[in-house]
Structure 1
Amino acid sequence: MAPVDRKAKNKNFTKKERILKKGKELSVGVKKNRKWIQQHKVFEGSVKEGQGFALKRKQKVKYEYNKLLKKEKKRNPDSKMLYKDEYPEHLKHLYMAEEEKLKKEAWENRVNRTKLRKKEQVTREENEDDEDVCGRSELTNSMPVAPEQTENSEKESFPLSNRMKKKLQKKTSYQKTKEEFEKIKEKRRKKKEVISVFFLFVKKQKQDHCPVPSHLFFFLSKFQEYLKNKQQKEEAIKRYKQKKMETFQILSKKTKKGQPNLNLQMEYLLQKIQGTQK
């Protein structure tokens, strides 16, 4: 009987046929999760993809190198840091001195630059506002200088770059809210002081049997109205909170198994609907 597959006789296959056969072999009972390759491709990767032999070789070398590093770390946990400046002992003092000198020079240059900038700013300000500066200087001479102000002036005399100044001037959200709260507090305190002084004045006038001015009576009536409204508002808030607490207690009740009690929730909803209909 003649062979069914003609390729069994002729062993010299073409490139295309070999790839087709490879694809069929992979599709039937694949054990390893290999990367899918298009059938017209002979090799994995391309110039566009950039995943050819060179990249694979590079990745393999990288992986092996990392493996070796891990092994070395396990063997010598207290190994020396890489890329650390280690000078010879007989020349160490020279290197260190040179390093310090360079740092000092850099700092001096920075200070000189800031001083020049400051001088320029001062000259501009003097040219613009000569009269204002004179007035301020007279006031400062007459007023006593506090120790806090002297500390601030010392800080200001120390040269700072514009970037550092901006950083110092910036405030966090916490600082902003704190300042706002303090302002409100101060306003309330002043208001209370004014009211207390006013009441004392009215009391004194009544004790001395003196007539109280009409505009003060108007102010008193307005203030009493404000107090009444405030009390009503507080009572309404109290009632609202109490109602909320009651509803929470009803809805938060649970069954023996620890599940939410749906029957109570449904009853509460029905009552709410009936209340709205009325």
Structure 2
Amino acid sequence: MNNGKHVHGKFQKKGERGYKNFIGNKTEGQGFADKRKRKIQHEYRKLLKKEKKSEVESTKHVSVLDELSEEEETPPDVSKQKSTKKSIGTYSKAHHEYKQRKKEKERKKQEAKKNREAMDAAIEKYNKKKQSNYKLLCKRTSKGQPVMKHQIDYLLEKIKKQKAKS
């Protein structure tokens, strides 16, 4: 039929290849060399990791041997007391840190509650004042005209506040 390759349900001509399955050729430069270089770097890093692990394990063995030699020098009762103190110390230290975090959390909670209550009180006060001003300013005469006395008093108070601030 067609002298192209079958790609994802469609035929494709030889010159219309969209991608390649390999890296590197003469036009791309050093594709194969780069791949080889990356492989060598990967192998080197793997080797370094293995050396670090073996180094850590050897230091662990050395530290265990040091502890054993120290235990032989000191009486067995003293070494047992040290180990129990250390385990109790780590537990009590962790417990102490836990209590401190809990106290800090509780303090922050109380502070947030106090701030929230203060904010609610301020909003309540603001709303009451706004409502009272609204009631005064909305008063009307029997004929439906606004009562100017209340509006003039409101403006006078406003001017006095501005004067006091500056």
TM surpasses 0.5: no
TM-score class normalised by the smaller sequence: 0.3 to 0.5
Which entry has the higher C-alpha Rg, 1 or 2? 1
Please, what TM-score do these two structures have when normalized by structure 1? 0.24
